[in-house]
Structure formats: C-alpha cells, structure tokens
Amino acid sequence: MSQSIRTAPFLSRAGWRESTVLLAVAALVPFLVHLLPWSGMRPLGVYVLPVFWTTFVAVYFRGVALGLAVGLITPLISVVLTGLPVPASISSMSLEIVFFVPVAVWLVARSRGFRFWAPVAWVVAKAAAIGVQMLIPAFHETEGFLSHLGRSAQNGLAGLVVLALINVLLVRFYPKSDEWERE
C-alpha cells in the first residue's frame, strides 16, 4: 500500500526513471538541433538555445538538482556526439546554466502561472554570466556589458521565443496547483 505525499512540484524529487528519461530527451534535443543543416557563421544552437529548453522543463517540474543536471550534462553529451557546442563555449554556457536554474526555480516558485519566466530567467542569467566573465580574466571578455547582452539577446531571439512557447505550454497544460499529489 503506497502512501501519498503532497508536495509542490518545484520541490519534489524525481525518480531514477523520470530523471533518466528527462536526461535522454535533454540530450536528444540539442543533438537533433546540431544535426540540422545550417550554414550560419555561428552554430545554430547559439540562436535557438536548445539546452535551455529541457533545462527549463526540468526546473518547472523538479527544481534545482535535476535542472542543473540536465543543463550541465546535456552540452557535454552533445559535444561528444556532434562536436557542438564548440568546446571552448562550454564553460560560458555552464556558467549561464548555473545562474539560469536557480533564477528560474525562484521565479517559477513565486508564480507558476506567469507565462514568460523562462525568457526572463535566461536574460537575468545571461547578464549575471557576462558580469562574472568580465571579472575573470580567463574568459577574455573584451566586449562591453550592454553590447554583449544586447548581441546575445538578439542572437538568441528565436530561442527566447521557443522558451516562451515552452513556458506558455507548461503553464497551460500543467498549471499551478497549491499541492500536487505524488505516489
């Protein structure tokens, strides 16, 4: 006989099966994006931000731990399978994820019904990551803060639209509830 545990979804723990499936899907999304024919000057992922899609889904349902796992492991799997993202960009992307996940968790916890937390969390995380990169010489950041943030937001506009769409769909189909039941 199982006992029900009532918990808020952003605080609940994912099981092994759920975590494995989410990580597999998270690895598959950027893999498929990087396999699309693309002749741009930069990799397609720079424009559509695929690692943030599944990271936000993990955050929305399971919070910090699984969000960080998905966000930090996915680029490593993708680089092994496709060579993208460019290995030199993984440290910057990881820094963005480290800021994105707790910001997204905090925003979602405040109001799961707001439909645009994912893009807001990305902008805040990107700004924080740029700020840190400007302070650490190893990143060789030469561009000004606002110009870097503006360029990044412009490059990632399509990805921000996808993040907003994912956010809208999650709110629509998995709306906020005071207590979610879990067995």
CATH number, domain with residue 146: 1.10.1760
Q: What DSSP state is assigned to residue 115?
A: T
Q: Is the pLDDT of residue 31 over 70?
A: yes
State the pLDDT at residue 154. Answer: 95
Q: Comparing C-alpha atoms, which of 114, 117, 90, 93 is closest to residue 103? A: 117
Q: Is the pLDDT of residue 182 over 70?
A: no
Categorize the per-residue pLDDT at 13 as very low, low, confident or very high, splitting at 50, 70 and 90: low
3-class SS at 54? helix
Categorize the per-residue pLDDT at 77 as very low, low, confident or very high, splitting at 50, 70 and 90: confident
| Rounded to 5°, angle at Cα 161 from 158 and 164 | 155
Give Dmax (Cα) for the chain: 61
Q: What is the mean pLDDT of residues 10-29?
A: 73
Mean pLDDT for the chain?
83
The total of structural domains in the chain comes to 1
pLDDT digits (tens, 9 = 90+) for 122-179: 999 999 999 999 998 877 777 899 999 999 999 999 999 999 999 999 999 988 764 4
Residue type, 94: S
Containing domain of residue 10, as a range? 5-182
- The rounded distance, in Å, linking the Cα atoms of 51 and 85 is 10
Residue 7: what are its φ and ψ, rounded to 5°? Answer: -155, 155
Q: What DSSP state is assigned to residue 4?
A: P
Q: Comparing C-alpha atoms, which of 120, 42, 116 is closest to residue 85? A: 42
More confident residue, 23 or 93: 93
Categorize the per-residue pLDDT at 23 as very low, low, confident or very high, splitting at 50, 70 and 90: confident
Q: Is the pLDDT of residue 10 over 70?
A: no
Q: Cβ of 181: how many Cβ atoms within 10 Å?
A: 9
State the pLDDT at residue 164. Answer: 97
State the pLDDT at residue 12. Answer: 54
Q: Is the pLDDT of residue 49 over 80?
A: yes
